[in-house]
Amino acid sequence: MICAGIDAGSRTTKVVLLDAASRRVVAAGVVDQGIEQDALADSLLERLLQEQGIRRDEVGSIVATGYGRKLIRTANETITEITCQAWGVRQAMPQARTIIDIGGQDSKLLRLKADGTVAEFVMNDRCAAGTGRFLELLAARLGVRLASLGEMAGRSRTPALISSMCVVFAETEIIGLLASGVTTADIVAGVQASLATRVAAMGRDVAPPIVLTGGVALVPGMDAALATALGQPLAVAAEPQLTCAFGAAVLAARRVNGSPSR
């Protein structure tokens, strides 16, 4: 039996197909988000099924999560991204005690109990300076690809100090730094450090092991910047952008196997 998890996030939609019996990932995909979230998710799901030679009626259950989860009409159930993120990480790293998820529009810090369930969580969804949007604005200002920021930061010798707490003022600060001759490498490294500091401020006495998830985890250097801000090491999830969709698929599998999906 095949199950599917759909993560309709703020910036991208992710789909994971899972073998319900073995918990093996059969296929996964990511597409940029758009206005027609339901159509995008359905199209991605259909493409993955066709690529694997799986009929739609062979899918036993679909769980949707993320900001747009209630728009996914094909889902049998909707579950919050907090719960799905925890399930996705606990399947791959049962020992994890803290999850830091940095997406395009928000950041979350989840504290987990010994059994992997969520004890509490903190979310930053009001300031772009603590999210991937900060990096997107930086890439646009510098005229470079988002994926190249990590390489640029790696060339930094003296990271710039970005002191503004608001991303709008921070952008003005960046313009001033460029005008004063500060290298782009130092500015990028400074922005990464600034973002990491804001995320780290969401939680005190963070318990290890710490796992980093979300699209921002794909940007080289962000894990190191966050580890420095936290003062302790962390691990990046194997597929950081897919952990939430994977967790949704795991819960879909539990649903068809008769286990509680929460």
Task: Encode pLDDT of 100-117 as tens digits.
Answer: 999 877 889 999 998 889
- Say which range, 88-102, 110-124, 157-171, has the weakest mean pLDDT: 157-171
Tokens of 227: 């580890």
- Is the confidence at residue 170, as pLDDT, over 80? no
Structural domain harbouring 63: 1-93+242-262
Question: What pLDDT was estimated at residue 262?
Answer: 58
The pLDDT, as a whole number, for residue 15 is 98
In the chain, the percentage of residues whose pLDDT exceeds 90 is 61
Same structural domain, 253 and 231: no
pLDDT at 128 over 80: no
Same domain, 207 and 122: yes
If asked whether residues 223 and 148 sit together in one domain, one would say: yes
Confidence of residue 165 (pLDDT cuts 50, 70, 90): low
CA atoms within 13 A on the CB side of 196: 24
Residues 111, 232 within the same domain: yes
The answer to whether residues 110 and 224 belong to one domain is: yes
User: Does 100 lie in the same domain as 87?
Assistant: no
- CATH number, domain with residue 72: 3.30.420.40
pLDDT category of residue 126 using cuts at 50, 70 and 90: low
Contact 70, 45 (CB under 8 A): no
Identify whether residues 190 and 171 lie together within a single domain: yes
| Strand pairing category for 2-8 and 12-19 | antiparallel
Instruction: Give residue 231's pLDDT band: very low, low, confident or very high (50, 70, 90).
Output: very high
- The Cα–Cα gap between 206 and 252 comes to 30
pLDDT value at 130 more than 80: no
- On whether both 41 and 58 belong to a single domain, the answer is yes
pLDDT digits (tens, 9 = 90+) for 78-96: 999 999 999 999 998 999 9
Q: Which helix (H) or strand (E) holds 37?
A: helix 37-51
Contacts of 76 (CB under 8 A, 6+ apart): 61, 62, 63, 252, 255
